[in-house]
Structure 1
Amino acid sequence: MRKQRPITGSIQPKDGKLYAVINEYVDGKRKPNWIDTGFKVYGGKRNAAEFLQRVLVKRNDERNRPARLKDATADMFFVDYLRIWLKTKKNDLEPITYQSYEGSIEGHINSYFSARGSKLSTLEPGDFEDFYDSLYQAGLSGTTAQYLHRLMKQAMNYAVKRDILLYNIMDKVDAPRRSKHVASYYTREEALQLFEIAKGDPIYLPILLATYYGLRRSEVMGLRWRSIDFTENRISVEYKVLQFQENGKTVVRGSDNMKTISSRRSMPLIPSVAQELKKEKARQAENRRLFPKSYSKDKNGYICVDALGKLYKPNFVSSHFSLLLEKHDLRHIRFHELRHTCASLLAASGVPMKQIQLWLGHSNYTTTADIYSHLDFKAQEQSASMIESILG
């Protein structure tokens, strides 16, 4: 495991007092934590510096010490328990999932429960219900509330399993209702216009792959030449590339641990896409010949790379996509919504939901139907014809 850089801090004056400003990171972003040292600006600098040093030593020791659930007690603060629990899960979670959990705990959960001094043993169902109400009042969705509910309930279940608690109080709390997601997508005309303006752009191929195959961004970036079989005309989705923050640094990492079992799939190689892939393969071979010393020596054989064979960062693809749309005055959608565009075009053309589920790699039919059933106009036309024939 990569050694974490030490937590740092400084002494800063404010309103005549000296504060220890600790450099903490949440979701990779620096969020200074101001702690009152109890000393004044005049005459207190030495004592404040000693205070800062003690705080930094304690913070670094706590962070680097292996998480031990035996340190957890029912009388400890709820957020402190969540931090210990999360550390024990580090080897079980995908880095990007760990980062998301950590950001949730240090963000919304910490802001609410720490301000109220909530302890593990004194939590009541109403505490969580009030928390969800506070999220709604802040303009957050039911989907966010449900995500946080599941995170906390998972941690509380573990506390029961390890005999820290006798029962999980969250069993008495109704899960927030997930918000109904209405996906944005392009029409056929808009998609064709996008293809036209994207020709020659660095992310032209990622755009084609995401739109034709409905691939997630991580799946597009994880495609390697070994994933393409030009002989059997097949494309295999079996690898992904994620970008996330780790110890305040940006990390790009590949993995064969797909989102679900259904995410690992093999599909026919569409002729127009195959043609562009062959052009890209030839371009990469030519660049490797022209720049043998500076061309990337990476052995993964990624498809979506720059002129020197270096994999594009996933976040670059998303941000560049937005700039491309803005430059050509196209309606703004997110790169991920090219996946929705693929599904919507299939649904509008009468492709059954089950087939769309398999194409997108959804783990179950319900997910596909919940998001795209309102686009199945062909099915609606059939229903209209049927009721007309019945009633005349």
Structure 2
Amino acid sequence: MRGSIEKRGVYKWRLRVDLGIQTDNKRNRPSVTIEIDDPSLMKMSEKCTGYKDASRGLRDYLDDQLSDFKRRVLSGEYIQVDKMTFKEFVENEWKPKYASHEDNLAPLTYDTYCSHLENHIYPAFESKYLSEIKTLHIVTFVNNLSKPGARKDGRGKTLAAGTIQYIYRVLKNVLTRATEWQLIPSNPVTGVKKPKVEQKEVEFYDEVEAKEVIAALYLEPRYWRLLILGAIIGGCRRGELVGLEWSDVDFENMTVSIKKSISQTKKSKAIEKGPKSKSSKRIIEMPDWYMNELDIHLREWELQRKKAIVAGEWIGNERTYVFHAGRGKPLHHNSPTGWWAKFVKRHNLKRIRLHDLRHSSATLLIEAGASMKAIQKRLGHSKYQTTANIYAHVTKKVSRDTAEKFDKFAPRPQSVPNPSPSSKSAPN
């Protein structure tokens, strides 16, 4: 394998190796440019016009660099950035070396990222060389996302602001890795403003509405009642409830421990992972009345398992999911959402999302006088500010209601009689 060394600047030198003619009849000549940063070698580089008239010390250094470059090319370590397209980087580098690792992206997040890449980002960037993507390309791309026709699911003409911001985040993540791995000098997304999303006030049930919902739940099977109450009373996420096992339930101390979550199903198999964040691992104290009914559910659950084992239908093995699908298999993560929508319609209740029951839990606690710090811990938010921001409007309402309790002490306006004509002073 032949190699060559060519001066490209005062301190810059290009190293090239010749791998011969490839299957596409094109000559494969990968190259890399290095920059001299050793003060003594920099002086030598200043004084020569090329490799031939370079000093012995500089030639030895360049020869060593060329030998190392040849080794990297032959071993497959070298990546020819100027010939690498955006899609090649994503598929060959970003996915296997970063995105597919659960420490970096949760499985559900990974699938969402891949979906946005396929539907929105690849059509704009897949054939572009990684090194050619500039900030203006990103500006144009983000601007086009807000135009009619950008949505691919057929449910509307335009993308929601939150979706546009998510797509921006995916693209930034990919190009940040390319920057960190020194494949490009800087991230072109850095100069593009993050798309704005107006923070919507969360929906929730107040105390009166929550009592109506709970009353309606007592007309439903205990199985579903306890699951939904786990969101209203415990502030649990859907995936946390689906992943709950009896080993996480402490009847003596009246608590439920959140240790894992199931928010994804692939090929009929539940994907189990840790909670959303480190702080999401938590112990939640539950009311006695809830734990008492959960104890009844346990006895019904054990009887159901025995019958399934005798019939040869138990597929849960040693796992003990509290809300399993009938034979020990975890409940499908979307099932609670579907049941909840039908339940609300069936009882003519105010329509809110299943996840909003978690917001309702926090709201009820705020109205009862609980501190924001206690609510943060119960919900498993990693930052106090997150809790404070989400429920700011609720605390303002509670503060207003508290102040209005003093309205009854407001002084009544006293009527002041008009002076009679005779009492008026006569003009001079």
- The TM-score with structure 2 as length reference comes to 0.67
Larger Cα Rg: Structure 1 or Structure 2? 2
| Distance apart, 1:214 and its partner CA | 0.9
- The answer to whether the 8 A contact 1:74-1:165 is kept is no
Equivalent runs, 1:74-89 vs 2, <5 Å: 74-84=82-92, 85-89=94-98
Aligned to 1:367: 386
| Distance apart, 1:384 and its partner CA | 7.5
Equivalent runs, 1:65-214 vs 2, <5 Å: 73-84=81-92, 85-89=94-98, 90-92=100-102, 93-114=105-126, 118-138=128-148, 139-199=158-218, 200-201=220-221, 202-214=223-235
> Which amino acid is 1:243 matched to?
Q
**In structure 1, distance between residues paired with 2:289 and 2:256:** 13
Partner of 1:226, secondary structure, is: helix
Give the counterpart of 2:252 among 227, 231, 234: 231
> Which amino acid is 2:111 matched to?
Q
**In structure 2, distance between residues paired with 1:190 and 1:385:** 22
Q: Does 1:277 align with 2:300?
A: no
**In structure 1, distance between residues paired with 2:216 and 2:401:** 34
**Residues 229-281 of structure 1: CA deviation (Å, up to 9, x unaligned):** 11122221112122244xxx3431222x2211110111223112101211110
| Distance apart, 1:145 and its partner CA | 2.7
Deviates more, 1:377-386 or 1:179-188: 377-386
Identity value in percent: 26
- The TM-score with structure 1 as length reference comes to 0.73
Q: Does 1:349 align with 2:359?
A: no
**In structure 2, distance between residues paired with 1:238 and 1:324:** 28
**In structure 1, distance between residues paired with 2:131 and 2:236:** 45
- The answer to whether the 8 A contact 1:82-1:105 is kept is no
Give the counterpart of 2:280 among 263, 281, 290: 263
**In structure 2, distance between residues paired with 1:363 and 1:280:** 32
| Distance apart, 1:292 and its partner CA | 3.0
- The answer to whether the 8 A contact 1:224-1:302 is kept is yes
Partner of 2:236, secondary structure, is: coil
Change (3 A) 1:343 1:136: farther
Q: Does 1:252 align with 2:270?
A: yes
**In structure 1, distance between residues paired with 2:87 and 2:404:** 55
Aligned to 2:18: none
Gaps of 5+ in 1: 1-67
- The answer to whether the 8 A contact 1:262-1:363 is kept is yes
Aligned to 2:14: none
- The answer to whether the 8 A contact 1:217-1:314 is kept is yes
Aligned residue pairs, count: 316
> Which amino acid is 2:279 matched to?
S
Gaps of 5+ in 2: 1-75, 149-157, 410-428
Determine which structure has the larger strand proportion and give its number.
Answer: 1
Change (3 A) 1:161 1:69: farther
Please provide the CA RMSD for this pair.
Answer: 2.8
> Which amino acid is 2:271 matched to?
R
Aligned to 1:287: 304
**In structure 1, distance between residues paired with 2:360 and 2:176:** 39
Change (3 A) 1:363 1:72: farther
Aligned to 1:62: none
**Residues 291-310 of structure 1: CA deviation (Å, up to 9, x unaligned):** 43234443221111244433
**In structure 2, distance between residues paired with 1:372 and 1:147:** 23
> Which amino acid is 2:85 matched to?
F
| Distance apart, 1:385 and its partner CA | 8.9
> Which amino acid is 1:318 matched to?
T
**In structure 2, distance between residues paired with 1:276 and 1:70:** 63
> Which amino acid is 1:136 matched to?
S
**Residues 53-86 of structure 1: CA deviation (Å, up to 9, x unaligned):** xxxxxxxxxxxxxxx9955624433244233312
Partner of 1:172, secondary structure, is: coil
**Residues 195-220 of structure 1: CA deviation (Å, up to 9, x unaligned):** 23333334222101011011111111
Change (3 A) 1:382 1:320: closer
Change (3 A) 1:385 1:112: farther
Partner of 1:203, secondary structure, is: helix
> Which amino acid is 2:293 matched to?
E
Higher relative contact order (CA 8 A, sep 6+): 1
Partner of 2:309, secondary structure, is: coil
**In structure 1, distance between residues paired with 2:80 and 2:194:** 26
Partner of 1:266, secondary structure, is: strand
**In structure 1, distance between residues paired with 2:380 and 2:166:** 22
| Distance apart, 1:163 and its partner CA | 2.6
**In structure 2, distance between residues paired with 1:160 and 1:107:** 24
Equivalent runs, 1:17-36 vs 2, <5 Å: none
- The answer to whether the 8 A contact 1:284-1:307 is kept is no
